[in-house]
Structure 1
Amino acid sequence: MGLITFYVFLGLALVGFAIEAWALVDAVRRPAHSFVTAEKRTKVFWVSLTAVGALIGYLAIPGFSVFGVRIGFGLPWLFTLLAVLPGAIYLADVKPEVIRYLRRPGPSTGRW
């Protein structure tokens, strides 16, 4: 594999991993009742799915070393594409619906 091709694949894999990590952190931060109220399965389901996607996405980063520490393992490129799907689905479909059902402060009390 040429050097330019390696860096292109590395960049795409890192962007994919960033999307997966963003989805995982966001799913962890949301309250569980919002998922059920929005009819988007459960929080445990989405946290588990995005965690598996992030793990596979990390393992699919092309292998390279930084200061002697190996990063990524270089699973086949198909794994990178498959790992991004749960995170992308969560961010595009689930997150907007879950946000709609968060409890908002009442107008008179200002409390949750």
Structure 2
Amino acid sequence: MTHPFVYAAYVEYWLMLALGIVALALEVWAVVDAARRRPEDFLRAGIREKRFWLMLTGGATLIGVLGVLGPFGGLGVLGLLAVCVAAVYLAGPREQMNLYSGGRSGW
């Protein structure tokens, strides 16, 4: 007979993996949006330059990929930090640039 905690561990694994995939989607959205913006949009909005946000969101995306494809699946402490970086970009700089560029991204 299988112990009930085994089933709880399976549920936890799949739940964390699903959360990791959602977080990875946010991170990819953030890095793609940052890459599509023109460098002038960052300066016009009065925020850090494009290279800074590309490095942050790119690192966050790398951590997200490693979290989803890694042996443990889902989010760890680094995964939480990575999704926070993506969320900060999407809620802050992205919205500021939309105000100054009329909602369009660079291409």
Distance between the aligned counterparts of 1:21 and 1:91, measured in 2? 11
The CA RMSD over aligned residues, in Å, is 1.9
Q: CA deviation at 1:57?
A: 1.1
Uncovered stretches (5+) of structure 1, i.e. residues with no partner: 62-71, 105-112
Counterpart in 1 of 2:78? 79
Which secondary structure state, in structure 2, belongs to the residue aligned with residue 60 of structure 1?
Answer: helix
What TM-score results when the alignment is normalised by the length of structure 1?
0.77
Q: Which of the pair has the greater relative contact order for Cα pairs under 8 Å at 6+ separation?
A: 2
Count of residue correspondences:
94
Choose between structure 1 and 2: higher strand proportion: 1
**What letter matches 2:82 in structure 1?**
A
Counterpart in 2 of 1:23? 30
What TM-score results when the alignment is normalised by the length of structure 2?
0.80
1:58 to 47, 54, 65: 65
Note if 1:13 corresponds to 2:15.
no
Q: CA deviation at 1:79?
A: 1.4
Q: CA deviation at 1:60?
A: 1.3
Counterpart in 2 of 1:45? 52
